[in-house]
Each structure stands twice: as structure tokens, then as C-alpha cells.
Amino acid sequence: WFVRRQLDLRRSVAEHQRDIRRRAYPSLAHKLGGLLEVVPPEIPAGWYRDVLYGGGAATEPEYVDRLPEDVAEAVRNYVAAKQTLHLLARGLDDQAS
């Protein structure tokens, strides 16, 4: 189930790449501010890597609602699966001790 959630996330991100880039800088003012590096993007540049490879128990990113709806749902499902996997692993560690 974890691998399935990860594949769903990867597929959703691939399908919505253009929309994600557009939403990172949703207005002309944002785009100009981003070029001048005075305004951070609405969706951080490394968001996808952080969701996939962030250490420990995953948490839902604060910007998830700025993502396209399908991507946001895939992120939430992936984060929930990662949290469950983390809890299971901790349980196994506790039993081994």
C-alpha cells in the first residue's frame, strides 16, 4: 500500500507539473518578486523531494492546499501511508528491545 501511494503521488505530480509551476508563482507580482528573489514561491522549489524523502514521520506540508487538487490528495494519502509505516517500524523496534 505504501508503494502504491508513492506511485500515485509520482504519477499525479508528473501529470500536473505545468500547473504546479504556475501555482508556485500565481500572479505577475509573484513572478517578478521571484525573479528578484524577494518573494518566496507559494510552493517551495524542493517540495516534492521533501515530501518523498523527508526523514522521520511525515507531516502534511503547509502549502498542500496550493497544489492542484489531485496532487494535494496524493500528497495527503502518501503522508498518511508514510506515517503508518513509521509507526509500524517504531512498534517493531520497541518489540525488539
Look at residue 27 in the predicted model and tell me its pLDDT: 78
Residue percentage of the chain with pLDDT more than 70: 86
Q: Is the pTM of this model over 0.95?
A: no
Q: Angle of helix 2-15 relative to helix 17-24, nearest 10 degrees?
A: 70
pLDDT in tens, 24-36: 887 777 777 666 6
Look at residue 57 in the predicted model and tell me its pLDDT: 60
Instruction: Look at 18-22, 33-37, 64-68, 72-76 and tell me which has the smallest mean pLDDT.
Output: 33-37
45, 63, 70, 90 from 95: Cα distances, Å: 39, 36, 38, 9
Neighbours of 91 (CB within 10 A): 10
